[in-house]
Structure 1
Amino acid sequence: MEWLIWLGAVLTLAGIGLLVYCIVAAMKAKRLGGSEEEIRGRLQKVVALNMGALLISAIGLGAVTIGIILG
């Protein structure tokens, strides 16, 4: 089950990378300014990506845990 641990680690790192991207994108959206509606629209796109990143990280951590238990 070593492959499951490595697969989970890759998924977790990909999720963390996406989370970092979300942080940078949110800071950029606020820095660009504009009306409140424009900022809200940009941030809503980031929130959707953020939720996906959290899901990918959770699946990766679950895979690591299952790989350790079965290994």
Structure 2
Amino acid sequence: MDFLIWAGAAVSLLGMIGILYCAAQVAKAKKAGLDDAGLRAALRGIVAMNLGALFVSVIGLMLVVLGVTFK
């Protein structure tokens, strides 16, 4: 089950990278000085990507837990 632990850690790391990317995109959008409507439009796509990255990270953590449980 070591493979499941390492695969889960890798998947979780990919999700974490996605979350950090979304945070950087939000900071970039805020620094751009957009008006309220423009900022909302920019954040709409980022929020969807952030939820996807969070889902990937959770799946990775679930794989790690399964690997540790069945080890």
Per the normalisation by structure 1, the TM-score is 0.95
Q: Shift of residue 34 of structure 1?
A: 2.1
| 1:2 partner letter | D
Task: Identify unmatched segments of 5+ residues in structure 1.
Answer: none
SS in 2 for 1:47: helix
2:58 & 2:35 partners in 1: Cα distance?
35
Q: Aligned runs of 1:40-51 on 2, under 5 Å?
A: 40-51=40-51
The residue that corresponds to 2:37 in the other structure is: 37
Q: Shift of residue 33 of structure 1?
A: 1.6
| 1:55 partner letter | F
Q: Aligned runs of 1:15-30 on 2, under 5 Å?
A: 15-30=15-30
- Report sequence identity in percent: 39
Task: Identify unmatched segments of 5+ residues in structure 2.
Answer: none
1:57 & 1:36 partners in 2: Cα distance?
30
| 1:54 partner letter | L
State the Cα deviation string for residues 1-49 of structure 1 (Å, max 9, x = none): 1111011000110111111101100010111122211110101111001
| 2:54 partner letter | L
Runs of 4+ with deviation above 2 angstroms: none
Aligned residues: 71
